[in-house]
Amino acid sequence: MEALDYHAEERRKAEFDVEEMKIVWAGSRQAYEISDRVARLVASDPVFRKDNRTMLSRKDLFKDTLRKAAHAWKRIIELRLSEEEASKLRFFVDQPVFTDLHWGMFIPAIKGQGNEEQQQKWLPMAYKMQIIGCYAQTELGHGSNVQGLETTATFDPETDEFVIHSPTLTSSKWWPGGLGKVSTHALIYARLITDGQDHGVHGFIVQLRSLDDHLPLPGITVGDIGMKFGSGAYNSMDNGVLRFDHVRILRDQMLMGVSQVTREGKFMQSDVPRQLVYGTMVYVRQKIVADASCALSRAVCIATRYSVVRRQFGSHNGGPETQVIDYKTQQSRLFPLLASAYAFRFVGEWLKWLYTDVTQRLQASDFSTLPEVHACTAGLKSVTTSATADAIEECRKLCGGHGYLSSSGLPELFAVYVPACTYEGDNVVLLLQVARFLMKTVSQLGSGKKPVGTIAYMGRSEHLLQCRCEVERAEDWLKPNVILEAFEARAARMSVTCAKNLNNFANQEEGFAQLATDLAEAAVAHVQLIIVSKFIEKLQQDIPGKGVKRQLEILFNVYALSLLHKHLGDFVASGCITPKQGALANEQLRLLYSQVHFDNPSLLLYMVLLLERLLQSTSF
């Protein structure tokens, strides 16, 4: 049989409503229709071809990216695409590009941290792309430690200007995407100094290049930092280096939504938390979580198609060999990744809602949910990107030697995706932020302050610290409330244990440093609980379409039980479940794998088929 026949054979046996499943994946019928229409638009346009990307020199790749960006912008204007449609178009073009930073960070930073007048001045030019901006925060010396940035912005009351300066080599801005070759402007982060006093890090808009001839302005040294990991991949982006030699900008180029400097040089802090200066990072982390399921689904799609077509061993009497997807080991490596794609999709949708909610609250001066939103965006960014990067590599191995070929699409997918574990906050650093939030929550448990939202379960910690799982048979693990309680008990117990151990140190900071590994693990347990609980909430919604809900229930169980199996040590050590119950969970997982493949052999393929159009790379 030909490869296509194998696919057709699997598809023929579908037992659920594929059209409805597409809508579940997209989030709504309208979102699905937009996605479908824009996917066709991109696929049929030769300017957006990408089959030659890994063969282009850096220079040609960059020229190709500029051509695509200009053409995309032209099409967006000609077709009057909405913001949602334009974002989809960017997604299907599928190439890191300077416009990501312009639209994804420069504009949101002005919107989030600029005052009314600043927004009116800068946003119209930025929206029309008359100016192109990047987000220049990280320096050669400091990326994670934002408070350690060294670039200075010193107010000069004589001229009503700030003097932007790079005092050391390590203060050179290093990494910003779009900076190296394209940006005319940058949103830079620098230490604000007035009257000799350092007020910490704030955002400033600085013009870098002339709008006439694109040459750097006086006092600006700017360039590209060079080749990055992999061929093609992130090399379409002009990550750059930037130095300032006493560059003067007007006072109103400091973003004044969070703090202000008056004409007299007086520093004034608004009545809002200073952490709002970090608001753009929260916004982008939320976007990165939403994107994780897309990258993951592409990899899973390639690995699944390959696993169906590929045959090795097991021929009887000259008959066909076994499809590799029939091997239990292949299933146990692949199916949890498929389930994770759905889990990340749903938690991404929820995080988008949470972000919209906090934005509305901030506008009404309600800052109460900010710490939780920071913890959720940081934690989910960390867990979903780490899992996705690992999954892409696993999918490469699932395709045997062929997975290592560029034409499989997987090496480039990995090389483009893996920096997501580092940019927008190193994943370990972000987990430690979640851990701080958890430790604070535990320390306040006796104070009468009731934990709400994603930490509401901590309010039941008395029960969770002593509860025992009631599973007696493998099928008991199919009950969502049993799974949820096991995840809650594990997360609560790990956090409470860390908090107790911290008390053994005279100095909290020293304790935090010594127990950092345990704290990061407690943070992972908390974040996995959020993902599991949001999947359950999704299943409680009305999900139309024959068999769709049933398939999602199977995927939920695969997701949760495969995590339980992977982290069995944590679950057993926390005392909620016994080793025997752990073994029953594994037994159930094995049965689920069989169910996915044998009771409903087409399930898997149909699910990945929904994503097929996303997959523009050459596949099998």
Ligand X SMILES: Cc1cc2nc3c(=O)[nH]c(=O)nc-3n(C[C@H](O)[C@H](O)[C@H](O)COP(=O)(O)OP(=O)(O)OC[C@H]3O[C@@H](n4cnc5c(N)ncnc54)[C@H](O)[C@@H]3O)c2cc1C
Residues 6 or more apart from 37 whose CB is under 8 A from it? Answer: 85
| Residue 104 vs 601, nearer CB to ligand LJ27NJHV | 104
Q: At what angle do helices 279-309 and 603-610 cross, to 10 degrees?
A: 130
Please choose, from the candidates 472, 458, 467, the residue with its C-alpha nearest in 3D space to the C-alpha of residue 485: 467
Task: Check if the beta carbon of residue 172 is closer than 8 Å to that of residue 163.
Answer: no
Spot the catalytic one: 424, 485, 488, 521.
Answer: 424
| Residue 284 vs 351, nearer CB to ligand X | 284
| Residue 377 vs 581, nearer CB to ligand X | 377
| Residue 428 vs 572, nearer CB to ligand X | 428
| Part of the chain binding ligand X (CB under 6 A), chosen from 4-12, 255-263, 358-366, 422-430 | 422-430
Task: Name 247's bridge partners.
Answer: 164
- Per DSSP, 174 falls in state E
Residue corresponding to tokens 């020229």: 63
Residues 6 or more apart from 399 whose CB is under 8 A from it? Answer: 302, 303, 306, 307, 310, 408, 410
Q: Count residues near ligand LJ27NJHV (CB under 6 A).
A: 37
Using CB under 6 A, pick the residue from 85, 87, 453, 512 that binds ligand LJ27NJHV.
Answer: 87
Cβ 235 to ligand X shortest distance, Å:
10
Which of ligand X, ligand LJ27NJHV, none does residue 428 bind to, with CB < 5 to 8 Å depending on kind?
Answer: ligand X
Using CB under 6 A, pick the residue from 35, 99, 586, 617 that binds ligand LJ27NJHV.
Answer: 99
Using CB under 6 A, pick the residue from 73, 91, 327, 423 that binds ligand X.
Answer: 423
Consult the annotation and say whether 322 binds a ligand. no
Q: How far apart are CA 593 and CA 591, in angstroms?
A: 5
Q: Count residues near ligand X (CB under 6 A).
A: 23
Which residues, numbered 169-228, are part of the site for ligand LJ27NJHV (CB under 6 A)? 177
Three-state DSSP class for residue 114: coil
In degrees to the nearest 10, what's the CA dihedral of 388, 393, 395, 401? 170
Q: How far apart are CA 264 and CA 261, in angstroms?
A: 8
367 binds ligand LJ27NJHV (CB under 6 A): no
Other beta carbons less than 10 A from residue 534's beta carbon: 20
Q: How far apart are CA 263 and CA 118, in angstroms?
A: 16
Please indicate whether residue 424 is annotated as part of the active site. Answer: yes
In the bound complex, which residue of the shown chain has the CB atom lying closest to ligand X? 143
Which residues, numbered 273-292, are part of the site for ligand LJ27NJHV (CB under 6 A)? 275, 278, 281-282, 284, 287
Cβ 404 to ligand LJ27NJHV shortest distance, Å:
27
Both tokens assigned to 541: 């919604």
Using alpha carbons only, how large is the chain's radius of gyration in Å? Answer: 26
Q: How far apart are CA 336 and CA 300, in angstroms?
A: 10
100 binds ligand LJ27NJHV (CB under 6 A): yes
Other beta carbons less than 10 A from residue 308's beta carbon: 22
Site string for ligand LJ27NJHV, 389-428 (x = CB under 6 A): ----------------------------------xxx---
Consult the annotation and say whether 184 binds a ligand. no
Query: What are the DSSP E strand ranges found in 258-338?
Result: 259-261, 267-269
Task: Check if the beta carbon of residue 372 is closer than 8 Å to that of residue 578.
Answer: no
Which of ligand X, ligand LJ27NJHV, none does residue 370 bind to, with CB < 5 to 8 Å depending on kind?
Answer: ligand LJ27NJHV
Q: How far apart are CA 223 and CA 211, in angstroms?
A: 17
419 binds ligand X (CB under 6 A): yes
Site string for ligand X, 57-96 (x = CB under 6 A): ----------------------------------------
| Residue 177 vs 232, nearer CB to ligand LJ27NJHV | 177
Please name the residue ranges forming H helices in 364-401.
370-398
| Residue 69 vs 186, nearer CB to ligand LJ27NJHV | 69
Residues tagged in the binding site annotation for FAD:
138, 177
Catalytic residues: 424
Binding site for ligand LJ27NJHV (CB under 6 A): 68-69, 72-73, 76, 86-87, 90, 93, 97, 99-100, 103-104, 135, 137-138, 143-144, 146-147, 177, 275, 278, 281-282, 284, 287, 370-371, 374, 423-425, 429, 433, 436
